[in-house]
Amino acid sequence: MAFFPASLETLIDKFASLPGIGRKSAQRLAFHVLSLSDPDARAFADAITEAKASVHCCRICQNLTEGEICAICESEHRDRSTICVVSEPRDVLSIERGREYNGTYHVLHGVLSPMSHVGPDDIRVKELLVRAAEEEVQEVIMATNPDTEGEATAMYISRLLKPFHIKVTRLAYGIPVGSNLEFADDATLNRAIEGRTEM
Amino acid sequence: MAFFPASLETLIDKFASLPGIGRKSAQRLAFHVLSLSDPDARAFADAITEAKASVHCCRICQNLTEGEICAICESEHRDRSTICVVSEPRDVLSIERGREYNGTYHVLHGVLSPMSHVGPDDIRVKELLVRAAEEEVQEVIMATNPDTEGEATAMYISRLLKPFHIKVTRLAYGIPVGSNLEFADDATLNRAIEGRTEM
pLDDT digits (tens, 9 = 90+) for B33-75: 998 999 999 999 999 999 999 999 999 999 999 989 999 999 9
By the CB < 8 Å criterion, does B41 face chain A? yes
Q: Supply the pLDDT for residue B7.
A: 92
Question: In this structure, what CATH number is given to the domain that contains residue A41?
Answer: 1.10.8.420
Q: Under a CB-based contact definition with an 8 Å cutoff, are residues A78 and A104 in contact? A: yes
Shared-domain flag, residues A83 and A134 = yes
pTM of the predicted model, to two decimals? 0.76
For chain B, give the mean pLDDT: 89
- Distance, in angstroms, between B51 CA and closest chain A CA? 5
Shared-domain flag, residues A38 and A94 = no
Of A5, A89, A92, the CB nearest to B55: A5
A184 part of a folded domain = no
Shared-domain flag, residues A84 and A23 = no
- Distance, in angstroms, between A55 CA and closest chain B CA? 7
By the CB < 8 Å criterion, does A25 face chain B? yes
Beta bridge partners of A174: none
B179 part of a folded domain = no
By the CB < 8 Å criterion, does A18 face chain B? yes
By the CB < 8 Å criterion, does A69 face chain B? no
CA of A3: which chain B residue's CA is closest?
B93
Residue A1 has pLDDT above 70, yes or no: no
Q: Which of B176, B143, B47, B193 is nearest to A4 (CA)?
A: B47
Query: Lowest mean pLDDT: which of A119-123, A158-162, B128-132, B183-187?
Result: B183-187
By the CB < 8 Å criterion, does A30 face chain B? yes
Q: What string of H, E and C letters represents the secondary structure of chain A? A: CCCCCHHHHHHHHHHHCCCCCCHHHHHHHHHHHHHCCHHHHHHHHHHHHHHHHHCEECCCCCCEECCCCCHHHHCCCCEEEEEEEECCHHHHHHHHHCCCCCEEEEECCCCCEHHHCECHHHCCHHHHHHHHHHCCCCEEEECCCCCHHHHHHHHHHHHHHHHHCCEEEECCCCCCCCCCHHHCCHHHHHHHHHCCCCC
Which of 80-119 (B) contact A at CB < 8 A?
Answer: 88-90, 92-93, 96-97
Shared-domain flag, residues B108 and B148 = yes
Task: Give the mean pLDDT of A100-129.
Answer: 92
Shared-domain flag, residues A82 and A166 = yes
| Pairing mode of beta strands B139-142, B79-86 | parallel
Q: Supply the pLDDT for residue B22.
A: 93
B67 part of a folded domain = no
Question: In this structure, what CATH number is given to the domain that contains residue A82?
Answer: 3.40.1360.10
Shared-domain flag, residues B36 and B119 = no
| CA A97 from centroid of its chain's CA atoms | 14
B196 part of a folded domain = no
By the CB < 8 Å criterion, does B66 face chain A? yes
- Distance, in angstroms, between A74 CA and closest chain B CA? 13
Residue B1 has pLDDT above 60, yes or no: no
Shared-domain flag, residues A110 and A165 = yes
Beta bridge partners of A83: A104, A140
Q: Under a CB-based contact definition with an 8 Å cutoff, are residues A175 and A181 in contact? A: yes
Total domains present in chain B: 2
Q: Supply the pLDDT for residue A2.
A: 54
By the CB < 8 Å criterion, does B30 face chain A? yes
Shared-domain flag, residues A16 and A83 = no
B182 part of a folded domain = no
Percent residues over pLDDT 90 in chain A: 60
Where would I find the H helices in B36-185?
A: 38-54, 71-74, 89-97, 125-134, 148-161
B176 part of a folded domain = no
Q: Supply the pLDDT for residue A123.
A: 94
Percent residues over pLDDT 70 in chain B: 98
A61 part of a folded domain = no
A195 part of a folded domain = no
Task: Give the mean pLDDT of B171-192.
Answer: 79
Of A11, A54, A66, the CB nearest to B48: A11
| CA B100 from centroid of its chain's CA atoms | 19
Asked whether the beta carbons of residue B47 and residue A5 sit closer than 8 angstroms, the reply is: no
Shared-domain flag, residues B94 and B164 = yes
Question: A-chain residues within 8 Å CB-CB of B5?
Answer: 51, 54-55, 64-66
Three-state secondary structure call for residue B106? strand
Q: Which domain holds residue A152?
A: 78-170
Q: Supply the pLDDT for residue A12.
A: 94
Task: Return phi, psi of residue A194, to 5°.
Answer: -55, -45
- Using CB atoms within 10 Å of the CB of residue A199, give its burial: 0 to 12 exposed, 13 to 18 middle, 19+ buried: exposed
Shared-domain flag, residues B95 and B160 = yes
- Distance, in angstroms, between B165 CA and closest chain A CA? 31
pLDDT digits (tens, 9 = 90+) for A43-58: 999 999 999 999 999 9
Shared-domain flag, residues B82 and B39 = no
Shared-domain flag, residues B27 and B110 = no
